[in-house]
Amino acid sequence: MERVSGKGKDVYIETFGCQMNEDDSERLFAFLNEIDFQKTDEPEDADLIILNTCSIREKAEQKVYSTLGRLKALKKKNPDLIIGISGCVAQQEGQRLLKRIPHLDLVIGTQNIHRVDALLKEVSTKGARVVANELSATISSGEYRPRLRDVKKVKSFVSIMRGCNNFCSYCIVPYVRGSEVSRPSPEILEEVKTLASGGTKEVTLLGQNVNSYGTSGGGDVSFPELLTSVCRVEGIERVRFITSHPKDISMELLELFSAERKLCRNIHLPVQSGSDKVLERMKRGYTADEYLEKVFLLKRLYPGTSISTDIIVGFPGEEERDFEATMEVVKVVEFDSIFSFKYSPRPGTLAAKFTDQVPPDVRSRRLEVLQAEQKQITIKKNKALEGKTVEVLVEGRSKASEDELTGRTPCNRVVNFPGELALAGSIIEVLITQAYSNSLRAVPIERSLLCC
């Protein structure tokens, strides 16, 4: 098929939501760049605007509609402007979006990114308004190609699988991302090698549930085997992975924390709740004690491993004592960081039909209490690093100050320090001088004393 030419044309992509969406946006741009589109940071300058959207909570979805509303004026000014929406809201709403948003031209579902060229052609040559949101049980060849080779990025995400088969009762992901499929490992390794040859030093392997990589179609090796191979790629200095489901985490995986030097001792292990009653209604497949057992085993065997988590407060039927059980887990584990959310009913999910919804003001109060507790824990943990030497992978200029560089420790803490931009991409040792709640300040030093 004849291709659309983006020569001399600019695309503006705005990304909402999680790391999976960030990676999808990068892939989307790579496909557009193949047909000569360039990137712009200004929607006013764009010939094509795509919002890559998130529907995990109602608030995220509303943000998409208000942004789409603001684009109406741009379309009026420039009727040739093409406006598209991709990601989870596109997948979920499909055709309904075209009805609701008259100035919308294109709806690209979560598994149709690689078709953007053909879809644009229908819009630009036939003047059609197009929806592509079919879901498939397999990954078609070329879906994850291409990868931009000319962008030097210190760190990068690499999707190793898509979809989710868990159907936690609150979650929209299995509906908008489809069933779980793993990418073949040779293709993943090829991508990591390409990134390494372009200067990437750190990769984060991405999946909704990375521990089940290779178990439900597509993958030809186990997740620990894949991780081991990725750690062996020359030029890659650090490897991370997200997200791990607590029910699927194995000893074989944990052992890699000592076997593989490049694997950062850093794990995201969403607990969601500390109440067995709530966990059961969430369909999480573990009890609070089973979760704690794994966490304490991890802490005992691999000291210094940083653990982060996701928590939902105000899930239907959550009583005060259930919330207290969650607070208890937060206090005993002392997570390095938490991502906490008020429960948001998602149409079509099981939990949205539960009749014992928690009132919004109770959800808000619980979230405040939880976040205040965690803030103290994070500050305490960060303070304990003052005066210590840590390794930092230098990412580039700090957003906060032009004169400073920014990087992360193996435990994923943000560190800002003075230095020359030429250091970007190298791993250096710094002395932590001051701890804040979300970052650390430091000065570069010559020699390692110890690590966080």
Please report, as ranges, the residues that interact with ligand 5AD according to CB under 6 A: 56-57, 170-171, 270, 272, 310, 312, 341, 343-344, 346
Q: How far is the CB of 195 from ligand 5AD (least distance, A)?
A: 25
Give the shortest CB-272-to-ligand 5AD separation in angstroms.
Answer: 6
CB 331 within 8 A of CB 288: no
The stretch among 113-121, 162-170, 298-306, 368-376 that binds ligand SF4 (CB under 6 A) is 162-170
Distance, CA of 97 to CA of 108 (rounded, Å): 11
Least distance to ligand SF4 from the beta carbon of 360, Å? 22
> Which partner from the list ligand 5AD, ligand SF4, none does 312 bind, CB cut-off 5 to 8 Å by kind?
ligand 5AD
Neighbouring C-beta atoms of residue 159, cutoff 10 Å: 20
Question: φ and ψ at 348, to 5 degrees?
Answer: 95, -15
Query: Coil, helix or strand for 334?
Result: coil
Give which of ligand 5AD, ligand SF4, none residue 166 binds (C-beta under 5 to 8 Å, depending on kind).
ligand SF4
What single-letter amino acid sits at 335? F
Supply the DSSP symbol for 149. Answer: S
Nearer Cβ to ligand 5AD, position 313 or 385?
A: 313
Identity of the residue, 132 or 171, whose beta carbon is nearer to ligand SF4 in the bound complex = 171
Taking CB within 5 to 8 Å according to partner kind, which of ligand SF4, ligand 5AD, none is near residue 174? ligand SF4
274, with CB counted inside 10 A (0-12, 13-18, 19+), is: buried
When the beta carbons of 31 and 315 are compared against ligand 5AD, the nearer one is: 315
Helices (H), 35-86: 58-70, 72-77
What would the x/- binding string for ligand SF4 be over residues 166 to 205, using CB under 6 A?
xxx--x-xx-------------------------------
Give the 3-state secondary structure of residue 415: strand
- For the bound state, the minimum distance from the C-beta of residue 30 to ligand SF4, rounded and expressed in Å, comes to 25
DSSP labels, 190-257? HHHHHHHHTT--EEEEE-TTGGGTTTSSS-SS-HHHHHHHHHTSTT--EEEEE---GGG--HHHHHHH
Total residues contacting ligand SF4 (rule CB under 6 A)? 10
| Shortest Å distance, C-beta 56 to ligand 5AD | 5
Strands (E), 295-345: 306-313, 337-342
Which of ligand SF4, ligand 5AD, none is residue 106 near (CB under 5 to 8 Å by kind)? none
Position 164 contacts ligand SF4 (CB under 6 A): yes
296 binds, among ligand 5AD, ligand SF4, none (CB under 5 to 8 A by kind): none
- Per partner kind, with CB cut-offs from 5 to 8 A, the member of ligand SF4, ligand 5AD, none near residue 208 is ligand SF4
> By the 8 A CB rule, do 444 and 429 touch?
yes
Give me the DSSP letters along 375-410.
HHHHHHHHHTTTT-EEEEEEEEE-SS-TTEEEEE-T
* CA distances from residue 213 to 104, 228, 242, 372 in whole angstroms, order as listed: 36, 13, 12, 36
Stretch that binds ligand SF4, among 125-133, 142-150, 163-171, 421-429 (CB under 6 A): 163-171
- Give the nearer residue to ligand 5AD in terms of CB position, either 323 or 341: 341
Shortest Cβ 180–ligand SF4 spacing (Å): 9
Q: Which of residues 200-259 bind ligand SF4 (CB under 6 A)?
A: 208-209, 245
